[in-house]
Structure 1
């Protein structure tokens, strides 16, 4: 267990500018797309490999506190379709969170097939690659599934590796280990992709408020200087 402070109630004063406090998640902020996704999924007759097109949006949120604990993070939405199709092949929402005090990276994910996961890992603030994992039955980095998935496609663990590149792109490799009903061995359901930035993120609400307040003060200061010059 981490060395938490005795005072579990007092909250720190957060920096309003989340984009300046994301640590290793900095390179994920923005809007992304890719047509080079690669998926290997279980089917009755064996593994099936498919290409996919991915659109992902990662936007900064205001800092979040649990007493003395503070997270800076990104809210994300991923939508995936098959080539030449409109129907969603995969839809996923959640948060990427960074806790600087412990070097902890968290990914929460929820999909509309009735499953929720919280994966955790550790990284340096300037890391360009990091790994997270979630394990069935874990109290902190666990996996919850609806009854049918527990019956037919039981998720044993989830691993994701992320690499931030220098050319406004990032890659992930994801492995979901499944206990598929009727199969003798667990199945490695894999996904990988490299996404490219198509738009910058929008600053979080407290950052926008701080920027607006600073602009007002600058305008007031400029007006005061002009008035003094006229009276001189």
Structure 2
């Protein structure tokens, strides 16, 4: 993290509108992804349960975001998971992946429709082949917040997401959440390797900038390239 400047209000002026071009290591996550061999290990009354799941993830670039002088680029994502045995959604998750080029800070926001949210963080360079983000219960910066029921019955103490970008363009994640269930710790694990099924689209501001460049080129008789 950079030192907090005296001027916390003025936003950067020379900001590239192209979200895809400024995602750093997150660029490899952009697009729509799918896989059918995910593995989930979760707690049950009779002991750990291992499930295979089918996963689809869509990650769309967003416009640049500024917290005063802090500039972030990112992806808005939606994860939908089913199992071969059931029609009902097994897991649904939304959030953002964010990157701060000035510091290498990576953040993941996560929200699930069972009453839990978190903000995880890590560091990475623009060409790194692996990224890791973590969050911890009770941390006021990068923490975990759960409903009363989850806090008492399935307390989440830590969250860790490790992503590896593979040579064939796919990427593999391992998510580990350290739970506290019925007086004992439990390491809840999810892993999968995703394949690209659709390329990403431009973020809204980049589309506007591209269209405007084409209009100006047409009006001037030149090229928008």
Q: Same fold (TM over 0.5)?
A: yes
Shift of 1:202: 1.2
Matches within 5 A, 1:119-158: 119-158=120-159
Tell me how far apart the structure 2 counterparts of residues 86 and 198 of structure 1 sit (CA, whole Å). Answer: 22
Secondary structure class of the residue paired with 1:202: coil
Shift of 1:222: 2.1
* Larger Rg computed on CA atoms: 1
Shift of 1:166: 2.8
Which residue matches 2:9?
A: 9
Shift of 1:128: 1.3
Tell me how far apart the structure 2 counterparts of residues 112 and 135 of structure 1 sit (CA, whole Å). Answer: 20
Matches within 5 A, 1:1-232: 2-13=2-13, 14-181=15-182, 183=183, 185-222=184-221
Secondary structure class of the residue paired with 1:154: strand
Shift of 1:16: 0.6
Shift of 1:139: 1.0
Q: Work out the number of aligned pairs and report it.
A: 222
1:65-112 Cα offsets, whole Å, 9 max, x none, are 010001100000000000153210000000000001111000000000
Shift of 1:149: 0.2
The farther-off stretch of 159-168 and 146-155 is 159-168
Shift of 1:212: 0.1
Tell me how far apart the structure 2 counterparts of residues 20 and 157 of structure 1 sit (CA, whole Å). Answer: 32
TM-score (normalised: structure 2):
0.96
Shift of 1:220: 1.7
Secondary structure class of the residue paired with 1:97: strand
Q: Which runs of 5+ in 2 are unaligned?
A: none
Q: Which runs of 4+ in 1 moved over 2 A?
A: none
Tell me how far apart the structure 2 counterparts of residues 220 and 32 of structure 1 sit (CA, whole Å). Answer: 39
The farther-off stretch of 2-11 and 70-79 is 2-11
Shift of 1:219: 1.3
1:114-150 Cα offsets, whole Å, 9 max, x none, are 0001100001111110111000100111000001001
Secondary structure class of the residue paired with 1:155: strand
Secondary structure class of the residue paired with 2:43: strand
TM-score (normalised: structure 1):
0.93
1:14-59 Cα offsets, whole Å, 9 max, x none, are 2110000000100000000000100000001110000000000000
Secondary structure class of the residue paired with 2:87: coil
Secondary structure class of the residue paired with 1:43: coil
Q: Which runs of 5+ in 1 are unaligned?
A: 224-232
